[in-house]
Chains A and B, each alone.
Chain A
Amino acid sequence: MTDLPGTERAIRAMQRQPLFATSADRGWNQRFQLAGEDLREGFVLWRLSWALAVADIRLRYRGSMLGPFWLTLSTAVMIGSMGFLYADLFHTDIHKYLPYLAVSLILWSFMSTLIADGCVCFTGSEGLIKGTRMPFTVHTMRCVLRNIIVLAHNVIVIAAVFLLLGVHVSAYALLAIPGLALWVVNGFAMAFLVGTFCARFRDVPQIIASIIQIAFFVTPVIWNANILNNHPRAYILIRLNPFYYMLEIVRAPLLGTPLGLDLVLKALIVTAVLIVLSSLIFARTRGRLAYWM
């Protein structure tokens, strides 16, 4: 019992490559190579990220009766109350407005929470980062997965609203799936990007929170983009708004509204820019992240 345990031999054979070498920074080649290894090793450990993400959600609601379905319930309450209020204020038909609001708000809250969460994906795991050598990808993946779990609980509300109001859903809605896949890619890149920035500059999370707040009001989330049709100058709000492109590529298919090819292109460009930026920043700072904790 106190001697070597029996699992030893079996485990030895299964372990990852036991070779490890590191050195002082040797420029971009080494940086990209190490960042690539981090990603690869991180993806191998996806079960760990998943378990951590599930534990995060479970712990948040441990001891409560509804558990994570509080997510569903509180979203339902918010959308229900906001739906009737704004439908009245905007003089729109609740049958049209409620599905729009449900889809918009739930997608928006996924996007905005993912960004805010990404800010603390490294600083929040300080204990793990300073205690053991673990790929940083595990932390970003944990953050993305956690938010996907929240989204999955909220999707129930969308389904309920669509059922109750008898919203017609066609095969066109399936186009939301590639859109969501693009969101996941974006979420990863975003977590790497803001996570690194926030680890180095501790004021950034607050700045990002303010930006998201403003973005919420200038992006057509609770209001419909159509009301800008007669305001050419205000139209800039959606023409130059990356949040709008990203939101629309998933929202339009779900609501059955037309989706222009230009928006898809713009969303792809946003994704490409994010990927390039985040890989540059992550490769550059990966070796320093532990020092900033």
Chain B
Amino acid sequence: MTHLTAFNISVDFPLYHNESRSLKKRVFGAASGRFGQDHKHRAVVQALRDISFTLRSGDRLGLIGSNGSGKTTLLRALSGIYQPTNGSLSMEGRLTSLLDPGQGMNMDLTGRENIRLRGLFLALPKAEIARLESDVEDFAEIGQFMDMAVRNYSSGMVIRLAFAMATAVHPEILLMDEWILAGDAAFLEKAKKRVEAMVRHADILILASHSSNIIAEWCNRLIWLEGGKIVGDGKPLDVLSQYLPADQFKELLKTAQPTLTAG
């Protein structure tokens, strides 16, 4: 069964430049509480502190929090890119992470060549790579640009291609950062359908976003990160009621009413 468990995950970022040890920074660090020392007395930024949660099939977790609260770092740690400084992580299920639109793409290669590379990364045989290519081509709908260098794409096209590549090979666990929301309305609708189909098949989605509308619509659980710590965890609406200023929350209730009452 697909599941993902994070147990007491902490991530410290090393600061290697000497100026990080200056007095000014130390005072500033003490004030904000994110700068510390590891057991070898090296200066570090405490990006994540004791993050624990368990997700099972069908869970769609939203991550919310101000800039620098550790959302992207958490996604990277969950992807297995950053080995945690403390704690452990275990999961079952094929994971795809969409952290950065251009990620894993070679900007000088064409869209088609990038799809081929992704197929090789997934260790697919030739026939499957060809099918992956046509799947992505159908979904991304970027036409002639498929055979042009990704460098010449508009940022929306890069997003279309990246999203199509990440979801064409059906992932069981999908991690997404908020940039997906930069797509146009038509694409967003399509993307939502695909993610919904994925979640209907009892898989896991983790989405970091600033948009409370998207979170309220896509997620059934919400974790609020602040300063690298979990400060709120529960149903999206409950957490959002604390996270958002009162007037914005009212606004959200008005616009997202149908989905929320349905859920």
Residues of A in contact with B (beta carbons under 8 Å apart) = 1-8, 10-12, 14-16, 18-25, 44-45, 47-48, 51-52, 55, 59, 62, 127-134, 286-288, 290-292
Contact = CB atoms under 8 A, between A and B. Distances in A.
Contacts of A286: 83
Nearest to A1: B138
A15 B123 CA distance: 7
What are the 10 closest A-B residue pairs judged by CB atoms, nearest first? Answer: A131-B103, A23-B88, A287-B83, A133-B80, A48-B120, A21-B90, A8-B170, A5-B135, A7-B131, A2-B193
Given A18-B93, A45-B120, A3 B194 contact: yes
Given A130-B103, A131-B100, A44 B123 contact: yes
Nearest to A11: B169
Interface stretch (B60-68, B108-116, B237-245, B252-260): B108-116
B135 A7 contact: yes
B104 A132 contact: yes
Given A19-B92, A48-B121, A55-B113, A132 B81 contact: yes
B103 A127 contact: yes
A51 B123 CA distance: 12
Nearest to A16: B123
Contacts of B87: 23-24
Given A2-B193, A7-B131, A48-B117, A15 B85 contact: no
A14 B128 CA distance: 10
Nearest to A60: B108
Contacts of A290: 76, 81-83
A1 B141 CA distance: 11
A127 B107 CA distance: 11
B139 A2 contact: yes
B81 A130 contact: yes
Contacts of B93: 18
A4 B92 CA distance: 20
Contact of A1 (B14, B123, B128, B139): B139
Q: Which of A3, A14, A291, A292 has the most chain B CB within a 10 Å cutoff? A: A291
Nearest to A62: B108
Given A4-B201, A24-B84, A288-B83, A11 B172 contact: no
B89 A22 contact: yes
B132 interface: yes
A129 B95 CA distance: 16
B contacts with A: majority SS: mixed
Contacts of B86: 24
A11 B122 contact: yes
A132 B123 contact: no
B124 interface: yes
Nearest to A200: B16
Interface residues of B, number: 56
13 contacts: A2-B139, A4-B170, A7-B128, A11-B128, A24-B86, A24-B87, A51-B116, A55-B117, A127-B104, A132-B81, A133-B80, A133-B95, A288-B14
A127 B81 CA distance: 12
Given A2-B139, A134-B121, A55 B128 contact: no
Contacts, number: 147
A1 B125 CA distance: 22
Nearest to B190: A2
A44 B122 CA distance: 10
B106 interface: yes
B124 A132 contact: no
A240 B86 CA distance: 45
Contacts of A132: 79, 81, 97, 99, 103-104, 121
B109 A55 contact: yes
A285 to B, nearest CB: 11
Q: Which of B93, B108, B132, B201 has the most CB of A within 10 A?
A: B108
A130 to B, nearest CB: 6
B197 interface: yes
A291 B14 contact: yes
Nearest to B94: A18
A130 B76 contact: yes
A16 B81 CA distance: 18
A7 B122 contact: no
B82 A291 contact: yes
B99 A131 contact: yes
B249 to A, nearest CB: 32
Given A5-B135, A11-B124, A45-B123, 7 more contacts: A1-B139, A7-B131, A18-B92, A18-B94, A128-B104, A130-B76, A131-B81
A286 B122 CA distance: 22
A8 B86 CA distance: 35
Contacts of A20: 80, 89-92, 95
A23 B89 CA distance: 6
A55 B87 CA distance: 39
B88 A14 contact: no
Given A3-B193, A44-B123, A22 B83 contact: yes
Nearest to B192: A2
A44 B123 CA distance: 8
A51 B117 contact: yes
